Structure formats: C-alpha cells, structure tokens
Structure 1
Amino acid sequence: MSTPISAPVHTPPSNRRDEPRGMPAIWRTSHPTVWGLVLSVGGLILTAVGAGFAAQRRLGDEATIWTLTGFVAVSALVGLTVMARSRPGLAAYGWRAPIGMRRIGFGLPLLIAPIAVATTSDFEVTRATALAYLVLTVCVGINEEVWFRGLVLAALRGLGDRRAVVTGACLFGALHLANAGSGKSGLYLLLQAVFAAEVGVVLGALVALTRSLWIGVAWHLVYDLTAYCTGDRLDGRALAGVIVMMIVLAGYATWLLPKVPR
C-alpha cells in the first residue's frame, strides 16, 4: 500500500531513540485536506462492511457484536500497519506515554460524558453481552484513534496543528451522519454529529498537546462501553445528559484549542 509519507518535518536528526521526544508525524503532501478525507473514509470502510454483513445475515445481537468486532479489529490492524511501515514510526503518531498532563487538566472534563450517560440511563445487558461490548469498545477505541487522531491528523498537519485538529474534528463529526440508515431520528443524528465533532476537537487537541493517543483510546473504552450497555437511547433523561456533556465538552474544547500551536 503506497502512501505519500515521508519523515516528519523537523530539523533534529532522525534517530529512533529520540523519536518519542521529537515532533509528531507529518505527511508531506500538497493536498492535506484531500488525504484527510480519504483516510477518514478509509477508517470507516471495514466497520460499515461489518455492519452491513451482520444485517444481511440477520445475525443475533451477540453474533452481530462479535462480527463487528472482527471487522473493526482488522481495520485497526490495517491502520497500524500503515503507521508502522511509514518513516515516522509508531511513537511519532502517538503510541507513547502522554506528556504535559497538568497542562490539559489531566483530561478530567472527559469523564463527564460517561458519567452523564450512566446517571441518565439504565443498564440493560447480560454479562455475556457486556463482555462482547467490552472487546468491541477496545477495538473501536484503537481503530478510531489510529485513523482519526493518528493518520488523519498526520495528513492534515500540513495545514498547521490547530487547523488540523479542527478540520479532523469536522470530518469526524460529518462522517457520523453516515448512520442515517440506522433508523435513528433526525435529532439523534444531529446531536451525534455535533457531539462527535466536539469529541474530535478535544481528542485532537489532546494528541497535539500530549503527543499520545492513549488518552483517546481509554476514553473511547469507558464512554462507548457505557453507551452500549445503556442502550444508547434518546429519551427525556438521556437528552438532558447529552446536553450536559455537550456543554462541558464545548467548554473544554474552547479551553484546549488555544493551547495548540498554529
């Protein structure tokens, strides 16, 4: 698989031992937005195929979850392979311990999302289904961070870090509108897209500031598992929780974004 990747744009010598402390991965391309869009779609293709396959075969709930998990895991492996085969290496993409945690408030505002879901919804799963969801959310967290905060952000960094974060977040939010065929209401889809865009800004800014993808992976695990196990409904209580977490995340994004270099 050929990609327009070259060494990160920075002056220090390319030494793997120095890489974790160096500049983040940057793709040298004359069309960063186009590549950002291509990679965004690429990160969702296998997930969509898995969902379509399960629907076509009319699989049961647990079988659907495990099938989707398999497709998402393959998607994550594809993304990791692209990272590993490119010159920057995995550490430059964010597979390293985070730095500057105090500067980002230790990511604590992110906790409002799973707390809001857990306190405004009811848990409705069996232990077997919860286990399946746990494995799925691990794969989803790795897959989305590999593609959206790893590869997509690297492709968009030619625009500058701050514009890369915002552009990547817009793509992340817009692509959630692909769930229009899921039967959810228009209000649900709109809120999901806006929430995803907010999450994209926050997680993208955290990667830019901490040089690590692990915060996003951990957040996806906690939030997605909570949402799946509560049925992901939008009744009156759940809507109140959504509004609260969107307000908090919007405030956190507004606080973080100016810290990201232009």
Structure 2
Amino acid sequence: MIETQTAAPARPLKAALTLTGITAGLTIAAALVIQWLAPGMEPMQQRFIAVLALAAFAVITVAVTRRDLLTSGRLHPVLLILPLLVSLAPFAGGIKDISPQAGTTVVIGYLATGVYEELWFRGLVLNSLAQWTPVKAALVSSTLFGLTHLSNIAFGANPAITAAQVIGATCFGIGLAALRLRGVSLWPLIIIHALTDIALQVGDVTSTWRWILMIGGDIILLAYGLRILRKASPTGEDHLWPMV
C-alpha cells in the first residue's frame, strides 16, 4: 500500500535544486559571518555554531511549510537493523577517553546535523521529487546531498577529503532515502544519521579502521538502499510515497 501525500511541485528538479541552493548558500553565508565576527575561532567551533543555526532553520521551515513530513511514515524496525549495526560499528572498540565538554559538543553538534540534513534532504528535497520513480528520486536527492558537502571547504576542510566526503555522503544518502521511500519516518533516520557521525568521532578505533568503517558503511548503505529500491516499480506507477 502507498500512502498519499499533498501535491508535489510542478517542476521537481527545479524545486530540488532551489532547496539545495538555499541550504548551500546559507552554509557558506554562515561560515563567512562567523569568520568575520570571530576570526580566531576554531573551525570545529565554527561548524558547531553554523549547524545549530541550520538545524533551527530546517525545523522552522518544515514546521511552517510541510508539517506533515514530521508525522508521515512509521518505524519499520526490521528495515533499520542493518543501518543501526553499521552506525554503531565504531563503538566495537569502546569509547575514546575525551572530556565531558568535548563529548557534549560532539553529541549536540551531530544531533543537530542529523536534524538539519534529514529534514532538508530526506524531507523537503526528496518530497519535491515525489512525481519521479523512487529510484530516480533517491539517486538525485542523494547526489545533491553529497554535493552540498563541498561547502565544508568554506570552514577550512581539506579539498581532497571533502571530495571523498561528497562521494561517501551520496552513498549514505541513497541508503537513507531508500528507507524513507519504504515508509520509514524521518525521526529514526535522524537518529541513525547522528549515531553514525558520533560513533565515527568518539569510537575508540584507529585512524585506519575509522576510514575502513566509514567507507565500508557507506558502501553497505548504498547496496542496501539499491536493494530496497528494487522493490519499487520501475514504471513509476508507485511514485507516491512513502511506500509501506
């Protein structure tokens, strides 16, 4: 059965590009403003402030324009088992010995990131492509999600690492978009997103293993997402979502 939704934009790609441009522009603007106001601030602190502002913006925007996105979908726990295992894998070696202040910053910062990016990309952007087939909508919305990570360069991120992050985020996004299209609500996706980022930061693993887990996790979610999307009709007849 497929749940119905309100009318999608008449020009899906234009709407998705506009939404992506808004969030990319706001991210870069936030970086420039923070650097101007506090030029000596650490890049991590700058990103922390920016993502809190962006999360608040995303919550307000969704609440005002598409409140139904906050309540649509269900938990679907079976579908979430593999993504949860992937997100928690860095904790297999325990937790790093970090200060309470640093730990709190990581948790709050990445929770805000999960809220912001899931509401925006698995919420508004993916919804704007609802007239398309699930596979096409997932691929395009996730590619746009990956490309927005180029804005991290504005916070001083290494360009080569950022390029790799673009690819990884695209793969990661396909997995979460597929879950959303199969009827999972946004809230579990926010938790999985946040847990993935938090675990990679505070999980007690070596740098090599962190990269292995990060790349491996993105590949697993890509394959898992494509497997889920194979159940969607290739004819586009089930373009209304989320599918349950």
TM-score range, shorter chain: 0.7 to 0.9
Which residue of structure 1 aligns with residue 30 of structure 2? 50
Partner of residue 241, structure 2 = none
Aligned 1:33-182 pairs, distance under 5 A: 33-56=13-36, 57=38, 58-60=40-42, 64=46, 67-84=49-66, 90-91=67-68, 93-96=69-72, 98=74, 101=76, 105-119=78-92, 123=96, 125-181=98-154, 182=156
Which has the bigger relative contact order, CA under 8 A and spacing at least 6? Answer: 2
What residue identity is the alignment partner of 1:209?
R
Task: Say whether 1:212 aligns with 2:185.
Answer: yes
- Residues 115-159 of structure 1, C-alpha deviations (whole Å, 9 max, x = no match): 344457973632112212222222221211211111111111122
1:32 and 2:5 aligned? no
Deviation for aligned residue 1:61: 7.1
How many residue pairs end up in the alignment? Answer: 230
Counterpart residue number, 1:255? 227
Check conservation: 2:146, 2:168, Cα contact below 8 A.
yes
Runs of 4+ in 1 over 4 A off after TM superposition: 60-63, 119-122
Distance 2:100 2:30 in 1: 23
For the 8 Å contact 2:27–2:151, the answer to whether it is kept is no
Matching residue's letter, 1:183: A
Q: Check 1:234–1:64 CA distance in 2 against 1; reply closer, same or farther (3 A cut).
A: farther
Please provide the CA RMSD for this pair. 3.1
Structure 1 residue identity aligned to 2:175: V
Counterpart Cα distance in 1 of 2:43 and 2:96:
16
Match of 1:226 among 190, 199, 203: 199
User: What letter matches 2:9 in structure 1?
Assistant: R
| 1:194-225 Cα distance to aligned partner (Å, 9 max, x none) | 21111211111111111511121111221122
CA distance in 2 between partners of 1:258 and 1:250 (Å): 12
One-letter amino acid matched to 2:212: A
Does the 8 A contact of 1:112 with 1:248 survive in 2? no
- Alpha-carbon distance between aligned partners in 1 of 2:163 and 2:43, rounded to the nearest angstrom: 26
* SS class of match (1:158): coil
1:120–1:238 contact (8 Å) kept in structure 2: no
Over 3 Å counting, the alpha-carbon distance change for 1:60 and 1:224 in structure 2 is: same
Q: Which runs of 5+ in 1 are unaligned?
A: 1-20, 85-89
Give, in whole Å, the separation in 2 of the partners of 1:167 and 1:120. 35
Structure 2 gaps, min length 5: 237-244
SS in 2 for 1:165: helix
Corresponding residue for 2:158? 184
- What is the TM-score of this pair, normalised by structure 2? 0.78
Shift in CA distance, 192/60, structure 1 to aligned 2, threshold 3 Å: closer
The answer on whether the counterparts of 1:205 and 1:257 sit within 8 Å (CA) in structure 2 is yes
Contact 1:162 1:257 in 2 (8 A): yes
Per-residue deviation, 1:40: 1.6
Amino acid aligned to 2:49: T
Distance 2:131 2:98 in 1: 44
Shift of the alpha carbon at 1:23?
A: 1.2
CA deviation after TM superposition for structure 1 residue 27, in Å: 1.7
Deviation string for 1:157-216 (max 9, x for gaps)? 122333111110111112223334433251x22331121111211111111111511121
Find the aligned partners of 2:6 and 2:211 in 1 and give their Cα distance. 38
Give aligned-pair identity as a percent. 20
